[in-house]
Structure 1
Amino acid sequence: MKYRKLGKTGLQVSVVGVGTWQFGGEWGRTYEQSEADAILGRAAELGINLIDTAECYGDHLSESLIGNYIQGNRSDWIVATKFGHRFHNRFERTDEGDPAEVILQLERSLQALRTDYIDLYQFHSLPNVVFDRDALWEALDRQVQAGKIRHLGISIGSNENIHQTSRAEAVGAEAIQVVYNRLDRKPEAEVFPSCLEQNLGVLARVPLASGLLSGKYKPGAAFATDDVRSRRDRAAVEAQLVEAERIKREEVPSGTDMAAWALAWCLKHPAVTSVIPGCKDPAQVEANAAAVDLVEAGHPQDVR
């Protein structure tokens, strides 16, 4: 495994992390504790130390599965979670941006994760009107001072949300999470230059384009109704599948696993610290970690 410094946080994170939205039950299946343990256990064996989750991946369900696993080895992990949404049912959430409500969410996340601190607590894709509430960031800063939060971050909803990105330093955030992959390069225009200017760590979510860059799906593929991908615009998904086929044919070197190539492609950008792909089982953890073999040295955030 290779490690990079997450911007000005100083946290040394594995370049491949574990995304855990799937633990919340919205990617076509549910998870038992033993299955989550197997995924996280294999990640640990491979040197992965970064877990990304959220309050609304289930009603703190993903956090609970993680918490049960890490309670005996908490110091081995850098845990990133998020705030700002309340889960009601599958695919049904409401925004929660009131400072008092956010602090209650923090307490529930700490309880679910079975820990007394969160390494990276991220504003979760809420609109700018919520982001601009000074009272919210003041309340969060008090939690940082109390030791419940080590670092604050922003998970931007739009890949082009330069408003929130450019104000990261002003609100005390030290990392940005953004959708970035070979099919979606929008952050390169404004978001990444702002991150570099502010020395923000960058977590690239959806680096495999929700699996479309895994090499497993062909044009015409369909997804089950309990899979979040079934809710996306069908024509847009089909266009991405066609483009993914072209990329596989023209850009991925012969004999190279497409998923590993796609993750390593993200990690080449000088702004990107780590990728946080989801994984349904230990085999996918191994496939994701294999991207490290394709990552060249010399990145500005490399741990030397």
Structure 2
Amino acid sequence: MTHTTQFTNTEHVTHTEPDRSVFFLGGDLPVRRVGYGTMRLADGPGEPSGGEAHIWTAPADRAAAIRVLRTAVELGLNLIDTADAYALGAGEELVADALHPYREDLVIATKVGVVRPSPTEWVPLGHPAYLRQQAELSLRRLRTDRIDLLQLHRLDPEFPVAEQMGALKQLQEEGKVRHIGLSEVTVEELAEAEETAPVASVQNLYNLATRGHDDVVDHAAGRGIAFLPFFPLAMGAHAGPGSPLAQVAGEVGATPSQTALAWLLHRSPTVLPIPGTTSAAHLAENAAALEVALTDEQFDRIAAAA
């Protein structure tokens, strides 16, 4: 993909109110602040779902999965997130089948650094040569000569952070990777990684009910780093009828899911939720969350209850 827009999050100045629905990933790639995560486009009926999903095989209904991906882009969701570990590379192939040749404004993110010896195992592997090999395979499967955002799926404690980041930096210097991201890291790990190469994004588990990475959200905001919460819509009893989330949803004329996404968008200007779904209707619902604005009081009320 070729992008010509050159701005930074701190230097992009206009004479009008900035579009808060757009974030400049890595300082130069404008993306809508709700993206699309492709992890759920795998397996088939009867397989475990949610946090227990295997993400092991290509989707049972490939045509339907392709339609969902194309619909996401048609709705303006131009940040598409996948990984080499999703269905053993079939997830990346699916993205290419659906969207290649890529639109000028489309940003494709993928991940390397996890091996899948079985349907239930996700094992970090940070050997620098392995990371570089996997990136080469991702380039082939995605049918591109440069990955917009290559994320280290997990840090491997068996290898120094500098060596793992160094492998991604080498790919960046070779022109095969535009920006580097991390996943499931602490503030300390993020800071250590930044000593080797700039970090454009962090993808951690985070939602209304799971806020263990509040400090990472704040650190990322202070550094102009995108924070991509995965499983952004995990909701429990706090989202049920009569809950503060449901009450606020009624006040703003939105669904509870849209309001939960709006809460994330309000949480920090660098938060970019990437909800996944196999439903075109849910895609449209998620995309419309960008139009939902919460007051500080509504934000606090939801946060206190959850």
Which TM class, normalised by the smaller chain length? 0.7 to 0.9
How far apart are 1:20 and its partner, in Å? 0.7
Q: 2:112–2:153: 8 Å Cα contact kept in structure 1?
A: yes
Matching residue of 2:15: none
- Choose which of 154, 165, 187 in structure 2 pairs with 1:162: 187
- Choose which of 61, 64, 75 in structure 2 pairs with 1:46: 75
The one-letter code matched in structure 2 to 1:196 is A
Matching residue of 2:196: 171
Change (3 A) 1:64 1:284: same
Q: Say whether 1:244 aligns with 2:239.
A: yes
Q: C-alpha offsets along residues 89-110 of structure 1, whole Å, 9 cap, x if unaligned?
A: 3222332210111111111111
The one-letter code matched in structure 1 to 2:281 is A
Scaled by the length of structure 1, the TM-score of the pair is 0.78
Q: 2:180–2:200: 8 Å Cα contact kept in structure 1?
A: yes
How far apart are 1:60 and its partner, in Å? 0.8
The one-letter code matched in structure 2 to 1:252 is A
The one-letter code matched in structure 2 to 1:275 is P
Q: 2:225–2:270: 8 Å Cα contact kept in structure 1?
A: no
The secondary structure found in structure 1 opposite 2:23 is strand
CA RMSD of aligned residues (A): 2.4
Matching residue of 2:266: 268
Q: C-alpha offsets along residues 161-201 of structure 1, whole Å, 9 cap, x if unaligned?
A: 2222223421322211122211122222x212321332212
How far apart are 1:5 and its partner, in Å? 1.7
**Number of residue pairs matched?**
261
Change (3 A) 1:200 1:260: same
Distance of 1:111 and 1:67 partners within structure 2: 10
Matching residue of 2:299: none
Distance of 1:70 and 1:80 partners within structure 2: 13
Matching residue of 1:202: 227
Distance of 2:217 and 2:142 partners within structure 1: 31
Matching residue of 2:208: 182
- Choose which of 289, 292, 300 in structure 2 pairs with 1:291: 289
Change (3 A) 1:74 1:88: farther
Q: 2:125–2:156: 8 Å Cα contact kept in structure 1?
A: no
Matching residue of 1:62: 91
- Choose which of 27, 37, 53 in structure 2 pairs with 1:9: 27
Scaled by the length of structure 2, the TM-score of the pair is 0.78
Unaligned runs of 5+ in 2: 1-18, 296-306
Q: 2:218–2:268: 8 Å Cα contact kept in structure 1?
A: no
The one-letter code matched in structure 2 to 1:176 is V
Distance of 2:41 and 2:177 partners within structure 1: 23
Q: Which has the higher contact order (CA 8 A, sep 6+)?
A: 1
Q: 2:23–2:270: 8 Å Cα contact kept in structure 1?
A: no
Unaligned runs of 5+ in 1: 214-240, 298-304
Change (3 A) 1:271 1:76: closer
Distance of 1:43 and 1:181 partners within structure 2: 21
Higher mean displacement: 176-185 or 55-64: 176-185
Q: C-alpha offsets along residues 217-274 of structure 1, whole Å, 9 cap, x if unaligned?
A: xxxxxxxxxxxxxxxxxxxxxxxx3333244445433552111111111001224331
The secondary structure found in structure 2 opposite 1:260 is helix
- Choose which of 138, 141, 149 in structure 1 pairs with 2:169: 141
Q: Percent identity?
A: 31
The one-letter code matched in structure 2 to 1:195 is A
Higher mean displacement: 178-187 or 142-151: 178-187
- Choose which of 35, 38, 49 in structure 2 pairs with 1:20: 38
